[in-house]
Structure 1
Amino acid sequence: MNHKGKCLFRFAIFLFALLYTATGMAQQRKSILPRELWPDDKGNHIQAHGGGITKVKDTYYWYGEERRQGLDSNYRYVSCYSSKDLMNWKFRGDVFKMTDPDSLGKKWVLERPKVYHNIKTRKYIMYMHIDGQVKGQKGNYSYARVGVAIGDSPTGPFNFIRTFRPLGQESRDIGQFIDDDGSAYLIFEDRPVKGFHIAKLSEDYLDVEKDICIIKAPLEGGAVVKYNGLYYAIGSALTSWNPNPNKYATAKSLAGPWSEFEDIAPPETNTYGSQSTFMLKVVGTKSTAVIFVADKWKPRTQWDSRYLWMPLEIGDGKLRLPEPKPWRINVKTGETAFIK
């Protein structure tokens, strides 16, 4: 290569590096846009539906149902993303996949995966809702169990252990909660009793040990958070894929008694077209934020389902979901701000 050719080659490399840097900078998000497409570090819409978030040191891990197009229909997948700031997410791959565990048929489901970090055992325990049709019983959701998987790292791989009915009860939508003392709880909807359980996990998190409370309200999508010494529980009415007015109740103890349920948003908005999934508490140096993490489902194009994340107005026994609009968070200080 002559001198002129070398110069052109170096100039081309410089332009490529400049373009790559500019593109990378353009992908850095400085806000959360509720209900909009949410691209990951590769520019793909995040596929973490019905999920949960686990913080390990200074990194958040978001797990959810992988619903991208082109998946092998013989498997169900759980995806994982990581972030330092809750706004920019790196795809860490599909950390778990499994086949039909019990001859449930083509329509069997794996939903609402949640991952717990057990500090004592240094293991990561994934719970999920497993359902499908049982021979001789009516309905596609007659299996009604939880599945459990275990991993050595937050990014997996997770290895399947078993399915079971917690405390011998039917289990559909599940949620997770870690109390201030580090105790871990599984929240699960029990259709026959028309309510949802708050149940304590065993020390190794591999089993459900004790029923703490049954909240007698026909709700799914259950989630719990503790804020300023008070417990807040939220849930969604049983309307399948269709959104409805989500509700909340409070209690001084997980065992109750729980207050009457009230709407978290104007009822005519149907929770702004979303369904509750999780409440994420971010404790900072200046403030503590509680984020409403919800799904905006699109049942016919599930890969295009969106997310509604909004900071809740919470305190003194009240909880309110503001109208969705762009906002940002500083995870170090715990402060949130709307973007005008």
Structure 2
Amino acid sequence: MKNVLIFFLMLWLLFPQLAHAQKNLPGVISPGEIWKDDRGQHIQAHGGGIIKIKNLYYWYGEERREGLDTNFRYVSCYSSADLTNWKHLGDALKLSKPDTVLGKWVLERPKVYYNHRTKKYVMYMHVDGSVRNFKSNEPTVTGGYSYARVGVAVSDLPEGPFKFIRTFRPLNRESRDIGQFVDDDGQAYLIFESRPTKGFFIAKLSDDFLDVKEETCFIQAPLEGGAIVHYKGLYYVIGSELTGWRPNPNKFATAKSLSGPWSEFLDFAPSETNTYSSQSTMMIKISGSKKTTVIYMGDQWKPKTQWDSRYLWMPLEIGDGKLWLPKPAPFKINVKTGESKVFTN
């Protein structure tokens, strides 16, 4: 009897260590944990986006590692065959400050599209900073998010190097946080938040993806971090409220067409969790041989130590106009079958 009690006592003492070890098992994605690449370093792809080319996924994001030259902004690139183990391919873009931007500036939320017609990889990004205001008699420098434009760069290879082309305001509107969406028919769209209009746009890209062709829909909801997925005949859009670095209850809505009408925006996680301290950046649809799984892709920002910001990925409960983000837990995803397995204690 004494030996049995000792056994259960040891098991109880070891349980936290075993649970933690499970989070770091090979092939397991652990939301909110350090996510190491093939070099053993924390992945630096914040505010990012993912595309699939043949059998490889490419993950692009803001490079926030320590020791960067502050005269430039960087976009990193990683590749993976299973969405779990990532190979670092270096910096796909190294960008200097646009001449018209004054003082501090940012490059945020890079997204890459592959154009099957031109065989080019096209990167969009939010470029922002201070500019000079000439509306008054004495020109003044405006606030840090006055540039409000998208930047465009192109490459022949997914890992770059990308050549920067220009910045512009899509649809002649201010543009801040951006998102990407490619529909099942291959048509590409840019999602961008426009502060003066108190909402965000879904805009169709031109045939070469180098420009915005036309407005598809304007959604009168002050949301950023927009992302869209098409699932079983419905479009689902998600976004974050405008609270800067501070997380908030992200929202979702649905529509039968990208042009709307869109349903009422609702929380897709318990409101008190502030979307489990994350902000939306993308939804990844894995259409496998047995199942289609949609993964929520969010950022857990650490503004004072941005290099240590984490990623919250989690399979969504989706269907029939409903969307829900379960409590984050370690999980596996099989990209061939589309099946996921969540490990809960």
2:208 partner SS: coil
- Which of 231, 234, 238 pairs up with 1:230? 234
Alignment TM-score, normalising by the size of structure 1: 0.91
- Which of 317, 324, 328 pairs up with 1:320? 324
The reply on whether 1:201 has 2:198 as its aligned counterpart is: no
Residue 57 of structure 1 is matched in structure 2 by 54
Residue 277 of structure 1 is matched in structure 2 by 281
How far, CA to CA, are the matches of 1:274 and 1:28 in structure 2?
A: 23
The reply on whether 1:113 has 2:110 as its aligned counterpart is: yes
Alignment TM-score, normalising by the size of structure 2: 0.90
- Which of 180, 187, 211 pairs up with 1:183? 187
The reply on whether 1:257 has 2:272 as its aligned counterpart is: no
Residue 249 of structure 2 is matched in structure 1 by 245
- Output one character per residue of 1:13-70: Cα deviation in whole Å (capped at 9) or x when no partner: xxxxxxxxxxxxxx98210000000000000000000000010001000000000000
Structure 1 residue identity aligned to 2:40: G
Residue 306 of structure 1 is matched in structure 2 by 310
- Which of 73, 77, 84 pairs up with 2:70? 73
Structure 1 residue identity aligned to 2:223: L
How far, CA to CA, are the matches of 1:177 and 1:279 in structure 2?
A: 9
Root-mean-square deviation (CA, aligned residues, Å) is 1.0
Residue 219 of structure 2 is matched in structure 1 by 215
Residue 167 of structure 1 is matched in structure 2 by 171
C-alpha displacement at 1:156, in angstroms?
0.6
Identity score, percent: 69
The reply on whether 1:86 has 2:78 as its aligned counterpart is: no
2:104 partner SS: coil
Residue 335 of structure 1 is matched in structure 2 by 339
- Output one character per residue of 1:166-205: Cα deviation in whole Å (capped at 9) or x when no partner: 0100000000000111100000001001111000000000
Given that 1:104 and 1:134 are in contact with CA atoms closer than 8 Å, whether structure 2 keeps it comes out as: yes
- Output one character per residue of 1:188-224: Cα deviation in whole Å (capped at 9) or x when no partner: 0010011110000000000000000001000000011
Structure 1 residue identity aligned to 2:89: R
Residue 144 of structure 1 is matched in structure 2 by 148
Given that 1:131 and 1:144 are in contact with CA atoms closer than 8 Å, whether structure 2 keeps it comes out as: yes
How far, CA to CA, are the matches of 1:102 and 1:54 in structure 2?
A: 31
Given that 1:241 and 1:299 are in contact with CA atoms closer than 8 Å, whether structure 2 keeps it comes out as: yes
- Output one character per residue of 1:204-263: Cα deviation in whole Å (capped at 9) or x when no partner: 000000000001000000011000010000000000000000000000000000000000
Given that 2:238 and 2:280 are in contact with CA atoms closer than 8 Å, whether structure 1 keeps it comes out as: yes
Given that 2:181 and 2:191 are in contact with CA atoms closer than 8 Å, whether structure 1 keeps it comes out as: yes
Given that 1:28 and 1:88 are in contact with CA atoms closer than 8 Å, whether structure 2 keeps it comes out as: no
- Which of 83, 95, 111 pairs up with 2:92? 95
How far, CA to CA, are the matches of 1:107 and 1:51 in structure 2?
A: 21
Given that 2:103 and 2:130 are in contact with CA atoms closer than 8 Å, whether structure 1 keeps it comes out as: no
Given that 1:189 and 1:195 are in contact with CA atoms closer than 8 Å, whether structure 2 keeps it comes out as: yes
Given that 2:175 and 2:192 are in contact with CA atoms closer than 8 Å, whether structure 1 keeps it comes out as: yes
How far, CA to CA, are the matches of 1:300 and 1:79 in structure 2?
A: 20
- Output one character per residue of 1:133-158: Cα deviation in whole Å (capped at 9) or x when no partner: 01125310000000000000101110
Question: Which sections of structure 2, spanning at least 5 residues, go unmatched?
Answer: 1-23, 134-140
2:329 partner SS: coil
2:130 partner SS: coil
Aligned pair count reads: 314
- Output one character per residue of 1:75-111: Cα deviation in whole Å (capped at 9) or x when no partner: 0000000000011000000010110012423420000
- Which of 295, 302, 307 pairs up with 1:291? 295
How far, CA to CA, are the matches of 1:58 and 1:51 in structure 2?
A: 20
Residue 37 of structure 1 is matched in structure 2 by 34
1:108 partner SS: strand
Question: Which sections of structure 1, spanning at least 5 residues, go unmatched?
Answer: 1-26
